[in-house]
Structure 1
């Protein structure tokens, strides 16, 4: 008989997955205990806004980037725009209440800190993401030109 093998890889991986599911279940129970209707409404609203607004927006932007790089003959370079744009968008989504100032009173009461600087930090992080991506592309292109054998005439 063959050795029993878990489809997840190892018993440690299975234990880690079970613990994360238990933690997510506990968080869900705690979250839904106070005002389950508003939480459920928020999740449904988030799914609808994502599917009807955000998905078409970022799919169109991705097509435009791929078409621009494809027209120049460098379609593989599109990933160097996709990744920092996706990470920057995710950071904007997470920090939007702080960037917009909608939660200024709650934030200052809870933390004792002012909201100043979140927009600047997001812009700096976005610049760093795109700058790092451009640097990686430049290094990749430099390595590719070094590794290419000279043309024989």
Structure 2
């Protein structure tokens, strides 16, 4: 029979750091090194302009965009809740977030606010067609989400026992 020792109070237990596997630690160290390298390269040119851009982007997101998409999400939840389909909101959220992220990243090209000559010389590509491609990707995202919803609803209907009359 092994002797049982009383458990120490939480405050007296030795501190255990929640470290992951060695591979996770190496990947984390590499990502920090890459982020540090990118930061040094980014700030090497116009550090004030980059810092101003980061602050402006954070303020724009926190003061304008976050309240807008939080209000849109609440409105979608409220409307779906009234219809008794609250679980369906996720099938709108995912494509909306992905489409919004693409719009945020590629906004100058989608809106056509780019110097065409400079863009063509830099990339070798035409800046035309970004709006049409973004709209197509958005349609595919929402269509795929609707397809997944229909498949799951049909599968759930097949496994549901018949209603008792």
Tell me the TM-score normalized by structure 1: 0.93
Give 1:6 deviation, angstroms.
6.6
Give 1:40 deviation, angstroms.
0.3
Give 1:79 deviation, angstroms.
0.4
Listed as ranges, the matches of 1:97-116 within 5 Å are: 97-103=108-114, 104-116=116-128
Unmatched tracts of structure 2, length 5 or more: 1-15
Give 1:138 deviation, angstroms.
0.3
Q: Runs of at least 4 residues of structure 1 off by over 3 A?
A: none
Q: Secondary structure at the match of 1:97?
A: helix
Question: Which protein has the larger Cα radius of gyration, Structure 1 or Structure 2?
Answer: 2
Higher helix share: 1
For 1:127, which of 123, 136, 139 is the aligned residue?
139
Residue 151 (str. 1) matches residue 158 (str. 2): no
String of CA shifts for 1:22-43, please: whole Å, max 9, x gaps. Answer: 0000000010011110000000
Listed as ranges, the matches of 1:5-24 within 5 Å are: 7-24=18-35
CA distance in 2, matches of 1:36, 1:113: 29
1:89 aligns to what?
100
Unmatched tracts of structure 1, length 5 or more: none
User: What is the Cα-based RMSD across aligned positions, in Å?
Assistant: 1.3
Listed as ranges, the matches of 1:27-106 within 5 Å are: 27-103=38-114, 104-106=116-118
